[in-house]
Structure 1
Amino acid sequence: MYCRYAHSVGFSVRKDHHSFWPNSRKIRMKDYVCSKAGFKKGLDLNVKSKYRKANTRTGCPAMIRFSVDQDGEWKVNKCVENHNHELARPEDQHLLRSCRKITEERAFVLKSMTDAGIRTIDAFTYLADEGRDAYNFVQRNRRCKIETGDTNSLIEIFKNRANSDNMFVWEVQYDEEDRLMNFFWADGVGRIDYDCFGDVIIFDTSYRLNKYNLACAPFVGVNNHWQNVLLGVAFLSEETVESFTWLFRTFLRVMGDKHPITIFTDQDQAMSRAIEIAFPQTRHRLCQWHIMKKLPSKVHCYNSNNKVRGLIYKCFSRCDSEEEFESTWTEMLNEGDLHSHVWLKELHRIRNKWSTTYNKTYFNLGILSTQRSESTNNVCHGISKPTSTITECFLGLEKVMKTWRRNEKDEDFKCSQSDVVPLVKSSPILRQAARFYSRKLYSFFEEFLQGVGGMCIAQASTDLSTFFVKTVENIDQPRYWTVNFDDAEGSIECSCGKFGMMGILCSHCLRVVRQIDIINIPPKYLLKRWSGRARKDLYSDRPLSSMVATGIPSDGIGSMIFRNTKLPSSNKQPEESNVHYHLLVVAES
């Protein structure tokens, strides 16, 4: 009874004290408390542990006490309803530990399936789908596919999604012969995710759907828990400048004309040209992994000369200034006699797209490759078969997207219901970071803080505005960083550019902070996109964008708009061609 009540309110229940009648095992008194009652016992610092469990206790007073007479009749003696913590939201109440249970019917089905040799994950998936009435859904869509064909079937699903989600947007593009070429769609959650976490996006087209050889082109972002979020997806029939330009302009318009700060792609000329046209304000970064993969076949001495290989690696991500990059690059050319190497000359020409040295002032999450997007493609490989239709691939992607969002909600719930235990409890900075950051980002911050032990102040100016920090582990060839501190502005900046790229203070800055006895991190260095409640914090001091608040695209044509565009003829440049838009459907809010 108390568990049902707790479930409806939004907290979990834990058993507490009890007593028995003399000389019997009959319950005389029983207490049930909120799961956050009491406090966690102090840790034994002498015992090393690889994992520190989050602290869920807040000393919550909520409880109920039952007394039981000799005949087994239960009565309430005491009931405290007040809580001193945030209660779970209705959509998260199923995650409460004391509320998790499985019905006898489902337990029987689960046992029967596992006994028959079906994998546990497949059995769980079946139960989840069955719980959402998936059978009727699949049958309805299967009839639709048989009656109208694959393309029209997908468009019908788009329309149905738009009816249930007034922020769902889709667009299709036809060629001059009215053959359907490209699809793009984004739902309401993806558009809100872009509003919050669209500063850096990863775009990759390396996976192709087998049946039609369509390129699957997901737009992937990174949320405050360092998890992938799917912002939108496209299916492209050809990877040309025209197709990419149409897609990027469509994406930008759907997302309220908000340009990302950085976009990561592979080394594709058509994609690069389209980004210059559609995203002129965005920093284009190339995947380092793809470039490194080409090095053994492009540079003849890469495998045989260790010094050349080490200098190339240094140029990618270990040079702290443009001067250091150029001197390292010259040394590499001299060492391998590569001055006339055509491929390296072209690589040097576009160095601002792949070297971290030239991107320290652009927020990029510290990402070096498109592997986050390629992990999406690995998932696509699991849902796509040689006979899969585009409709089936779309439904499979939706399923993956729901799994990602469920994992994100689970992490949001954990952040709201538990506190991170700092490695050093007496550290004010760690306590501040543990309260502010999400659990994953706090682990990054703590990792940076641990690096402080390997740093020392080599020199400091008399006014304590400039510090030279060096490593202590390599005494013969230590690395140096310059940290500038402005006491009046409360600002600190390091030559490594970690904060500018990732939004977290580096170990060099933290070493200086410790040196000058700053107790707390200045608020300007706590980015809200990394907080445990990022969406709430981001929208607390600014209104929702017009796209998110009303679901109306920036062009103002209704709450949802679906377009059919004609590809321009091949002899025209995308920016010069006359592209006509035809309104197909305007869905009411």
Structure 2
Amino acid sequence: MEDETEQGRASQENTTMAIVVIQDGNKCDLDASPKGKDVVEQPSAGMMFKCIDELYEYYKTYGNQVGFPVFKKSTKNDKQGRLHFVTLSCGRGGKSRCKREKSVNPSLTMKIECNAKLNARVYDDGVVRVTSVFLEHNHELSPTRARYLPRRRSVSTSIKRRREKIDQVDGSVAEPIASAAEYGEHENEPSLEKVCQNYIDNIDKARKLCLGVGDAGAICNYFNRMQEQNSNFYYSMDFNEEGHIRNIFWADERSRVAYKSFNDVVTFDTTYLTNKHDMPYVTFVGVNHHGLPILFGCGLVSGEDTETYVWFLTQWLACMCGNAPKAIITDQDMAMRKAIEIVFPEIRHRWCLWHIMKKISGKLSWHSNYELIKTTLMHVVYDSMSKEEFDFNWDQMIQKYSLQSNAWLSTLYDNHHRWVPVYVKDSFWAGMSTTQRSESVHAFFEGYVNSKTTIKQFVERYDKALKIKVEKELQEDLNSFNYCCTCVSHYNIEKQFQQAYTNNKFKEIQEEFKGKMFCYVHSMKEEDDFGVYEVIEDMVFDNGSSNQKVCFTVYFKQAEFDVRCSCRLFEFQGILCRHIITLLTVKGVFSVPQKFILPRWRKDLRREHTKVKVSYNNWNTTPEMQRYDLISKKSAVFGDFGCTSEENTQIVLDFVEQFRQNFNISDPLDGSGQPIFSVGGSGQPFQ
């Protein structure tokens, strides 16, 4: 007992020590651990965990890292029957239970009375605190052989999913384990090769949608009904060699027409695949002129591999007449990244910041300095004003908390150009990179899909879900037309945006006018026909605990009205920043050119998708929608006639061109009327 107290005290005193293995009284450094593998710190008294499962997963990870199996040795309940104490031990602890009658031909045993263990107390709220730790083992430890340890031979759901991805991404079934190095596993693969291989051998056989009773019929009935109501409803099905449905894609006419107006940025959302829902549902989502999510197509998939995503992206591109988006946002899925490189090789691809930041807890909560690391990481990501500042702050964080061996953080930094705000702000993302925007996009069908939803139920709820979204957009249109937000300043520039923009986007402009009170022009110099101005903003960091004066550079060529700011808010979000507004007011500018008032956010434009009649908004069908629907159906004769030969195609195109010129209608295929997100073509790049 005295030894136990002494050992526990010693462990508590070394809460931040480097990870070592105590082996026969000698310290054995673990630098030989496989490179790229997440390294958890050595257990010590006083460590806190949210629940028993989190503690168990941590200790298993530590055991796998050091090289010993982990077992739950014992538990003790309180008088109310609630778990009060738990002991996790080395799997080689205890005595062999070999029966005497088998002593001639005994079975294999790993029990050699090893005393290494961890004791913890469970509190009423479920929080677990480590009370004592015994680190010494009476046997050899081998991190490189950890994948052969007992209790790690089964293939968990996460490993199955990762194996499928690895298999499809690398195109090889014979080398799935070697390919795991790309995911930071390498030699410490937690499942035996044979077990994983057996699972992979059955992947192709299982590649089909798991349709329940009535699912297939519900899908077919829905597609038939939609096409009867609107011939422009698009769907496609993918079958395996046995004739089973593997993947399904569909998009109604409203989604297809809306894409013409908002095709600059698209989110390929697989939330329902990654949040443990049984619904294999994926969506293409953008944002409309109010900044609200709008659907561009969706589907059901049987896998999360490159082949599936290539098929899905190809079908969606065909549905949108080959018009690829300018930029796409996804999660960090490797198979998806490869599929996008195949189907959309020219577009800008970035990772969803919301997806990344919500993983902090799961990836770093084991660390004794977790709260400090979390706060520091969020400060580095959100508050860095330049690429150089981000790189410096990131390096400082890694050094301060000894996170050099953390595989997740290493991968994030290697791909920082795909997600860090300061690295992506030179492109237009329609505000879809902020936490709030991403959360709303990824919750498009929240309330209609849960962990128990069947495909049949979802198809039945689909129209109702879209109806609510359409109703909200129409309500926002009405509000922007009938109501306006009062200006917060007397500047005519603000009134310009008040008259042009939807209320939601004008509120964003107003935030910049409010922020102007914290800005002032500090200095000015001439540089290659540009006036270069330093605008100082008094900014607040660390939840209001500290103020800092930050300098932004504004370039302004007044003759051509070419203006840009180093914060890149306009390029990034299509909203004039407070630094430009500050300079323009100082220069006495009363209005801005139309190139700064993006058509994408205007409230006075009638967009085609609002005229489309579809099943889920028939409750609000207008005479305009009815006329549009009638003309769309009648005009199908042009397609039927024109597609029969090259000669007939030219006849139809000539007829349409003559009609367009007679009524002065712009050509929908020449890109006119689309917002131009560059601020000026003659300015110099930022240094």
- Per the shorter chain, which TM-score range? 0.5 to 0.7
Q: Distance in 2 between matches of 1:494 and 1:345?
A: 31
Secondary structure in structure 1 of the residue aligned to 2:312: helix
* 1:514 maps to which of 582, 585, 589: 585
Secondary structure in structure 2 of the residue aligned to 1:479: strand
* 2:422 maps to which of 357, 375, 387: 357
* 2:353 maps to which of 277, 288, 295: 288
**2:492 paired with 1:428:** yes
Q: Distance in 2 between matches of 1:209 and 1:434?
A: 41
The 1:210/1:314 distance shift into structure 2, 3 A limit, reads closer
The 5-angstrom pairing of residues 150-229 of structure 1 reads: 150-207=215-272, 213-229=278-294
Deviations 1:310-340 (A, max 9, x none): 4422442332322222222222222223334
Structure 2 counterpart of 1:481: 552
Secondary structure in structure 2 of the residue aligned to 1:281: coil
Q: CA deviation at 1:389?
A: 4.6
| Maintained 8 Å contact 1:226/1:441 | yes
TM-score, normalisation: structure 1: 0.62
Q: Distance in 2 between matches of 1:521 and 1:548?
A: 43
* 1:449 maps to which of 493, 509, 513: 513
Q: Distance in 2 between matches of 1:211 and 1:301?
A: 23
Structure 2 counterpart of 1:378: 446
Structure 2 counterpart of 1:261: 326
Q: Distance in 2 between matches of 1:446 and 1:339?
A: 43
**Long gaps (5+) in structure 1:** 1-147, 540-546, 559-589
Q: What percentage of residue pairs aligned between the two structures are identical?
A: 28
**2:537 paired with 1:460:** no
Secondary structure in structure 2 of the residue aligned to 1:172: strand
Task: State which drifts further: 364-373 or 169-178.
Answer: 364-373
The 1:212/1:264 distance shift into structure 2, 3 A limit, reads closer
The 1:368/1:274 distance shift into structure 2, 3 A limit, reads farther
Q: Distance in 2 between matches of 1:192 and 1:271?
A: 26
The amino acid of 1:468's aligned partner reads E
Q: Distance in 2 between matches of 1:302 and 1:468?
A: 41
Report how many residues are paired: 399
| Maintained 8 Å contact 1:529/1:535 | no
Q: Distance in 2 between matches of 1:550 and 1:194?
A: 21
Q: Distance in 2 between matches of 1:550 and 1:315?
A: 56
| Maintained 8 Å contact 2:255/2:609 | no
| Maintained 8 Å contact 1:315/1:325 | yes
Secondary structure in structure 2 of the residue aligned to 1:259: coil
Q: CA deviation at 1:493?
A: 0.7
Secondary structure in structure 2 of the residue aligned to 1:478: strand
**Long gaps (5+) in structure 2:** 1-212, 541-545, 611-631, 645-687
Q: CA deviation at 1:385?
A: 7.6
The amino acid of 1:460's aligned partner reads M
Q: Distance in 2 between matches of 1:338 and 1:400?
A: 44
Q: Distance in 2 between matches of 1:192 and 1:261?
A: 17
* 1:329 maps to which of 387, 391, 394: 394
* 2:569 maps to which of 494, 498, 520: 498
Q: Distance in 1 between matches of 2:512 and 2:419?
A: 24
The 1:223/1:550 distance shift into structure 2, 3 A limit, reads farther
Deviations 1:243-289 (A, max 9, x none): 11111111111112222222222222222221222222222222223
Deviations 1:14-41 (A, max 9, x none): xxxxxxxxxxxxxxxxxxxxxxxxxxxx
Structure 2 counterpart of 1:368: 434
Structure 2 counterpart of 1:402: 467
The 5-angstrom pairing of residues 292-307 of structure 1 reads: 292-299=357-364, 304=369
Q: Distance in 1 between matches of 2:454 and 2:361?
A: 38
TM-score, normalisation: structure 2: 0.53
Secondary structure in structure 2 of the residue aligned to 1:177: coil
The 5-angstrom pairing of residues 93-108 of structure 1 reads: none
Greater Rg over alpha carbons, structure:
2
The 1:198/1:303 distance shift into structure 2, 3 A limit, reads farther
Q: Distance in 1 between matches of 2:408 and 2:273?
A: 28
Q: Distance in 2 between matches of 1:318 and 1:289?
A: 16
| Maintained 8 Å contact 1:244/1:270 | yes
Q: Distance in 2 between matches of 1:285 and 1:557?
A: 38
Q: Distance in 1 between matches of 2:455 and 2:361?
A: 37
Secondary structure in structure 1 of the residue aligned to 2:448: helix
The 5-angstrom pairing of residues 303-318 of structure 1 reads: 304=369, 308-318=373-383
Q: CA deviation at 1:521?
A: 1.9
Q: Distance in 2 between matches of 1:150 and 1:395?
A: 10
| Maintained 8 Å contact 2:445/2:465 | no
| Maintained 8 Å contact 1:213/1:237 | no
Structure 2 counterpart of 1:438: 502
Q: Distance in 1 between matches of 2:389 and 2:566?
A: 12
Q: Distance in 1 between matches of 2:324 and 2:270?
A: 20
| Maintained 8 Å contact 2:557/2:563 | yes
**2:540 paired with 1:469:** no
Q: CA deviation at 1:363?
A: 1.0
The 1:265/1:450 distance shift into structure 2, 3 A limit, reads same
The amino acid of 1:437's aligned partner reads Y
Q: CA deviation at 1:494?
A: 0.8
Structure 1 counterpart of 2:307: 242
Deviations 1:509-529 (A, max 9, x none): 111111111111221111101
Q: CA deviation at 1:304?
A: 1.7
Q: Distance in 2 between matches of 1:364 and 1:374?
A: 16
The 1:300/1:151 distance shift into structure 2, 3 A limit, reads closer
Secondary structure in structure 2 of the residue aligned to 1:252: helix
Q: CA deviation at 1:409?
A: 1.3
Compute the RMSD of aligned alpha carbons.
3.3
Structure 1 counterpart of 2:603: 532
